[in-house]
Chain A
Amino acid sequence: MSKKKATSSLRARNHDDELIELDKEFQQFKLEEFTVEYPSEDAITRTIDAMRPYVTQAAAPRVKYSFLRQLQVMQIQPLFWLANLLFFCMGLLVWYVWEGDPYKIMLLLSPIPFLLGLLEVFRGRNEGLLELEISCKYSAQQLLLMKLIVICAYNILLCLALIGIFGIFGEPLLLSKLIMYWTAPFAVAVSVGLAVASRVRNVLSVPIALVIWLFIAYGFLIGLEHYEQASELPYIAGLATVFVAACIAKQIQRLKKGFAYYEAVH
């Protein structure tokens, strides 16, 4: 046995002896005869209450950001969905009953769901809740993007439904004319709406955007009536759509950045 092992064995024996001695000492105190009174219910409750703040809480289950969950987070008002369905029906009615031009109907009505949706997108800011929303886990930036995506998707869905109905029950619509009468004006309306809503910080932003849109739509109608036959116009409209879409992406990026901090939007 090495010297080191012998020393450690000796230490262990000494420690055992000490414990035996201690045990004998404790036995002299006759602890087994000592009775502990059971505490009252009140005392137990008080102790539990006093300890409660120190108990580590189990990690709370976190939410999976499913699409339905996101809709719940966004709290888009039912009025928004209904108002836009109404515009959709109005478009059908004008086309079916009054035999309105489907392209002009698309031009005038297609951006309205998005423009009305801006009220929902900026509702937190307009109602003074933005500061709180920014401080939450699901931040105001995420809310802004989610709302924009949902509103745009709903708008495009309604437009495609209209185009589908016009095409199936009437004459098929030409893609080149749709670019001139739908995508280009729609992109311009979205860009104007975003620009107005990010500058006018109250509920008036949407009526203002709608009025501006009506003027722009009138301009489009006049212009298209004059130059509709120009063969290069669909290409110009297509290019304009891409350019305005790029501007919209930039606007959204800037808005997103702004919504990260309260002072940027106040």
Chain B
Amino acid sequence: MKLSIERVSKQYGAKRALDNVSFEMTEGVYAFLGANGSGKTTLMRILASVARPSSGRVLLDDVDIELLDEKYRDLLGYLPQHMGYYKNFTVEKFLFYIAALKGIEKGRAKAKIDELLQAVSLQEERRTKVGKLSGGMKQRVGIAQALLNDPKIIIVDEPTAGLDPKERIRFRNLMSTISADRIVLLSTHIVSDIEYIAKELLILKRGMLIQKAEPQHLLDALSGKVWTVTASPNELAAWQASHKVSSMLVRENGTELRILSENKPAPHAEEAIPNLEDLYLHYFDEEAAK
């Protein structure tokens, strides 16, 4: 299975949300990394067939998804970034409703709902009204509905927003397990969510795809540019003003700063192994500072 994005652009009035984006995906987990307004959600909407590109096209196995229409949507599991719920529906009823929209026969839907409620740890809430669930629980209902039809293409926009660390780990493992014969596309601000599961990272900036590579490949490119420096409290402001600081850790002998720099920033600085947070800061310095 191959999903190809060919010279896709999207214009909203005067604003160009996507600018000539092209890439291909096969089975595996792909992660979009980008600051707010980088075009991630727009691209995901186009891939989920809920928005139309202003120019360019999306092909599944060389067939335009607009031509595939219903057949394409049948292969799709989508979790939008902001999703509403019918608040007076119970969790189970809501999932039955989405299963019906996905054209799943009732008996099969019931079995699948049981399986998914277990996978997202919501068996006990199945008869609870969606309006009474916490944000994290609603998000888990959203994840469950995306997987109802055993989709071959899973598109999840900020899926871990509102989940506690344990649930995030469960979600990661779930995505990792099911991605063997599926294309899983997710966007997140939480880089640790994708560190171990992403086959490739796609970095979007101001509507343009600026990188598409394996995480390790991108991290290797940062090698020799990440440093740790221990600073006293009165030196902190000066370090922050003069360098890109990705993290600060208070220790007994001072504060350990993690710094991105082309050159060794101080004689006592030590080289560190780059991680995805460093990578994020490297590409989205201004956005991270905000």
Contacts and interface: CB of A to CB of B under 8 A. Distances in A.
A129 B50 contact: no
A137 B82 CA distance: 20
B101 A143 contact: yes
Interface in A68-92: 69, 72-73, 75, 77
Contacts of A75: 86, 89, 97
B57 to A, nearest CB: 15
A128 B50 contact: no
B16 to A, nearest CB: 14
A221 interface: no
Contacts of B79: 132
Interface residues of B, number: 38
Interface residues of A, number: 29
A127 B138 CA distance: 14
A35 B83 CA distance: 58
Given A128-B83, A129-B85, A63 B105 contact: yes
A136 B98 contact: yes
B84 A128 contact: yes
Contact of A261 (B51, B87, B104, B178): B51
A143 B103 CA distance: 12
Contacts of A136: 73, 98, 101-102
Interface stretch (A9-17, A38-46, A54-62, A187-195): A54-62
A60 B145 CA distance: 16
A127 B85 contact: yes
A216 interface: no
B101 A131 contact: no
B83 A131 contact: yes
A53 B48 CA distance: 23
Interface string B65-102: 00000100110101110111111110000000110111
Contacts of B188: none
Given A123-B86, A128-B83, A131-B50, A60 B105 contact: yes
Contacts of B180: 53-54
B123 interface: no
A243 interface: no
A132 B149 contact: no
Contacts of B85: 127-129
Name, among B45, B82, B103, the residue most crowded by chain A CB atoms within 10 Å (CB to CB).
Answer: B103
A26 interface: no
Nearest to A60: B108
A29 to B, nearest CB: 37
Interface of A: 53-54, 57, 60-63, 69, 72-73, 75, 77, 123, 127-129, 131-139, 143, 261-263
